């Protein structure tokens, strides 16, 4: 029988654990297991990793670690894809391991594979086939092997914040013969979604109950920015027995240094080997650059010599890294006879995985308090009074979440639960509320964190803040709301929509208002420097003029002709604009536009040759379309097969955003262009941004063997987002400040006066 047991609090859980004969308890990590053992020493507690390893050992089997798989699969992959880059292997490998967590049945992934690049799909199939043929047991196959074993007894799974599809399958198989119970906090379950992993094991609906919300007063002291260490020192003078919890999911040594260490216990991870890894591989890559390839035996000989030298000098960290490299080379030699740059890239990843894990901790005879972070709170003894510290530098509760296309999500959701960052946050919220609900608890929070971090507003929404006087005199900046009285209520009819207009609205409604409704330009008419957008426009103009006026477009760049264009465009702008530039500023601005435009011209000449393009056009206007989208595309290359390449120029990668931001539709400029161009009947070969400041920044160009497939899977989503933004603009009444993320405020005209989604004091 498989049953989910809900508990309201740690105390409720302990009462259930002590109620009768407790079977084997399985936890996700050593930290959770240690906390449970300290609360109830009589329990038999084991981590899932140890439990799996023990069972495999009884069956005469062994599980391969991630690093072992990577070294073997990289060597096999190199045989099939000798010309592909390391990044593609790493992407395929990570996807492979993730897909194995959903299912071990390859046929179930057929729909998901339709959404992937062909090389990625072939790579995953190569990996999968190799594991099957060699009968290698990875983490996910180990769950299946354990489920097939008959060496079990009743078991309880406690402390899991996520279970993969393969783990859930294991539990369901085991539950056919054994008692299997999964313990889960009810307050988190009530915040969960039906598709979250816990929903795969219970038929109960996750219904939110207002009555179960923790309420009451909480003592809050607002700290001046950068003064947490001073405040904590004063606090511990009168509250020496309080434990300190840092509001971070992974506090570093720097974060722990906010507090005095005397009579305190803390533990934090420390990386002692990164520098040694970097130094070693810089040396090895210099040798590789000269030789192009290194024979395996020669490589092992060099490493042996370096190891002897490190031993003589007492450089033991270096010795360890060389030893790990030696092991990696020997494993690699089973499949390849020589080492190239790809192998070095893989070795570095593997050595980082295998390097010893090191922690720093305090050594005190008399310990009065512990310093913890949010990840330490699982089943912690919460009888001690606690102070919670939140500063802007700690990072809060942000979690990385892999964003998949709608089709990908749909394909995976039918197979197993998708890990969700929102559920992780609800676990953190539950743990923090269990602290804050206690009368003696206190929250020390840096000024403006409450206003700018939505997580804290969600956590504290049912609490009444009581001013906590620490007996220290300091001033807190008072924020005054200047902008709300100046905003008029909408809606304001818009005749058309540019990419920048839609992006501004998606980024923040108030930014949109002061950019396009009540337009504010805080730049003086007479300026002593050129703004970033002016420099960008000049660089665009120079690139376009060069190709328009130069009859030999596809030849090598004509430096004298380029210089002539630069001078014409730059001097014309200085004459017509109200600029008061010093000679130094003139030289700086001219050097930038000359250098950046040169980059763009060189790139386009090379691209025209590679693609054998028949023409190049600049500032191509978008024709009429059903969405009233307007604007112009910086550059379009027309190819001989009637397809086009769409390119937008950017002065820097910051202006373009990342490839991830585009594919997650957080940056929609390119999607606006593609939507309008496809409506005009164009077939798109490739598209992307050209970073004029760095031609090596190739991550921004979206070029695949099947761009049409990529567009088909993404354009529907892009169109939905664009249409929704247009409809929202047409209907919005109050343009509140609600920045999508903090960096969208950097180039906002009202940044200095904005509450950024917060409230004024």
Query: Phi, psi at residue 639, to the nearest 5°?
Result: -100, 165
Nearest Cα residue to 152 out of 20, 24, 3: 24
pLDDT at 713: 66
Candidates 3.40.50, 3.90.550, 3.30.460, 3.20.170; CATH matching 214-269+361-467: 3.40.50
Specify the pLDDT at position 524: 56
Distance CA 706, CA 713 (A): 11
Q: 27 Cβ partners below 8 Å, 6+ apart?
A: 33, 36, 45, 46, 47, 48, 157, 158, 159, 160
DSSP string, 723-738: HHHHHHHHH-------
Q: Is there a contact between 184 and 5 (Cβ–Cβ < 8 Å)?
A: yes
Asked whether the beta carbons of 352 and 93 are under 8 A apart, the reply is no
pLDDT tens string 660-676: 788 788 889 999 999 99
pLDDT of residue 597: 92
Q: What is the pLDDT of residue 470?
A: 75
Residue spans of the chain under pLDDT 50:
705, 759-761
Give the H or E element holding residue 294. strand 294-295
At 575 the pLDDT is 82
Whether the model pTM is above 0.85:
no
Structure tokens at 154: 């009743």
* Strand partners of residue 702: 687
Q: What percent of the chain has pLDDT over 70?
A: 91
3-state secondary structure 185-229: EHHHHHHCCCCCHHHHCCCCCCCCCHHHCCCEEEEEEEECCCCHH
Which CATH number is 478-531+602-761 given? 3.90.320
The set of residues, in sequence order, having a beta carbon less than 8 Å from that of 530 and lying 6+ positions away, is 538, 579, 581, 585, 589
- Integer-rounded Cα Rg, in Å, for the chain is 30
The CA distance from 706 to 301, in Å, is 45
């Amino acid at each position: 029988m498989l049953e989910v047991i809900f508990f309201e609090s740690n105390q409720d859980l302990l009462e259930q654990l002590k109620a009768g004969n407790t079977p084997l308890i399985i936890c996700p990590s050593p930290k959770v297991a240690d906390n449970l053992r300290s609360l109830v020493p009589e329990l038999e507690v084991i981590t899932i990793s140890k439990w799996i390893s023990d069972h495999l050992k009884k069956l005469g089997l062994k599980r391969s670690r991630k690093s072992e798989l990577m070294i073997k699969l990289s060597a096999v992959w190199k045989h099939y894809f000798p010309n592909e880059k390391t990044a593609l292997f790493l992407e395929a490998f990570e996807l492979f391991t993730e897909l194995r967590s959903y299912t071990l049945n390859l046929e179930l992934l057929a729909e998901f594979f339709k959404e992937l690049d062909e090389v990625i799909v072939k790579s995953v199939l190569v990996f999968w086939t190799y594991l099957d043929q060699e009968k290698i047991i990875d983490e996910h196959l180990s769950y299946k092997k354990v489920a097939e074993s008959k060496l079990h007894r009743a078991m309880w799974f406690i402390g899991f914040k996520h279970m993969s599809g393969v783990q859930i399958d294991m539990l369901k198989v085991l539950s056919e013969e054994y008692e299997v119970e999964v313990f889960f906090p009810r307050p988190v379950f009530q915040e969960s979604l039906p598709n979250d992993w816990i929903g795969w094991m219970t038929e109960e609906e996750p219904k939110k109950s207002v009555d179960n919300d923790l309420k009451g007063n909480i003592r809050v002291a607002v700290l001046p920015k950068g003064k947490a260490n001073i405040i904590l020192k004063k606090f511990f003078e009168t509250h020496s027995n309080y434990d300190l919890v840092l509001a971070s999911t992974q506090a570093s040594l720097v974060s722990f240094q906010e507090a005095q260490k005397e009579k305190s216990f803390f533990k934090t991870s420390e990386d002692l080997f990164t520098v040694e890894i970097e130094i070693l591989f810089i040396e090895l890559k210099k040798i590789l650059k000269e030789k192009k390839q290194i024979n395996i035996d020669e490589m092992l000989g060099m490493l042996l010599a370096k190891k002897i030298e490190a031993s003589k000098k007492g450089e033991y960290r270096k010795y360890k890294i060389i030893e790990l490299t030696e092991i990696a080379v020997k494993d690699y030699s089973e499949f390849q006879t020589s080492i190239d740059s790809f192998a070095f890239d893989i070795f570095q990843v593997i050595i980082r995985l295998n390097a010893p894990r090191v922690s720093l901790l305090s050594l005190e005879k008399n310990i009065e308090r512990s310093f913890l972070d949010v990840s330490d709170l699982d089943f912690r003894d919460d009888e001690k009074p606690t102070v919670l510290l939140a500063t802007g530098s700690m990072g809060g509760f942000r979690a990385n979440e892999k964003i998949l296309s709608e089709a990908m999500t749909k394909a995976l959701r039918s197979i197993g639960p998708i890990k969700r960052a929102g559920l992780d946050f609800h676990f953190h919220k539950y743990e923090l509320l269990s602290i804050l609900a206690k009368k003696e608890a206190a929250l020390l929070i840096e000024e403006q964190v409450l206003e700018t971090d939505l997580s804290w507003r969600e956590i504290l929404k049912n609490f009444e803040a009581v001013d906590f006087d620490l007996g220290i005199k300091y001033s807190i900046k008072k924020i005054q709301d200047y902008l709300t009285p100046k905003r008029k209520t909408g809606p304001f009819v818009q005749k058309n929509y540019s990419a920048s207009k839609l992006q501004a609205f998606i980024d923040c409604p108030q930014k949109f208002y002061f950019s396009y409704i009540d337009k504010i330009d805080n730049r003086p008419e007479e300026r002593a420097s050129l703004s970033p957008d002016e420099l960008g426009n000049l660089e665009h103009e120079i690139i376009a003029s060069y190709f328009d006026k130069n009859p030999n477009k596809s030849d090598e760049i004509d430096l004298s002709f380029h210089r002539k264009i630069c001078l014409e465009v730059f001097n014309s702008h200085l004459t017509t604009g109200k600029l008061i530039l010093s000679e130094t500023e003139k030289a700086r601005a001219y050097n930038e536009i000359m250098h950046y435009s040169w980059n763009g011209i060189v790139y386009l000449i090379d691209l025209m040759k590679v693609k054998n393009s028949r023409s190049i056009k600049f500032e191509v206007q978008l024709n009429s379309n059903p969405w009233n989208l307007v604007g112009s595309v910086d550059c379009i290359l027309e190819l001989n097969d009637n397809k086009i390449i769409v390119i937008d120029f950017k002065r820097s990668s910051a202006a373009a955003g990342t490839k991830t931001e585009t594919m997650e539709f957080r940056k929609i400029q390119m999607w606006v262009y593609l939507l309008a161009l496809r409506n005009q009947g164009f077939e798109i070969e490739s598209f992307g941004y050209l970073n004029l400041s760095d031609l090596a920044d190739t991550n921004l160009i979206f070029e695949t063997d099947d761009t049409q497939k990529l567009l088909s899977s993404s354009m529907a989503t892009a169109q939905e987002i664009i249409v929704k933004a247009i409809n929202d603009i047409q209907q919005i009444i109050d343009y509140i400040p609600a920045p999508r993320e903090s960096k969208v405020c950097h180039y906002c005209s009202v940044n200095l006066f904005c509450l950024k989604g917060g409230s004024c004091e």
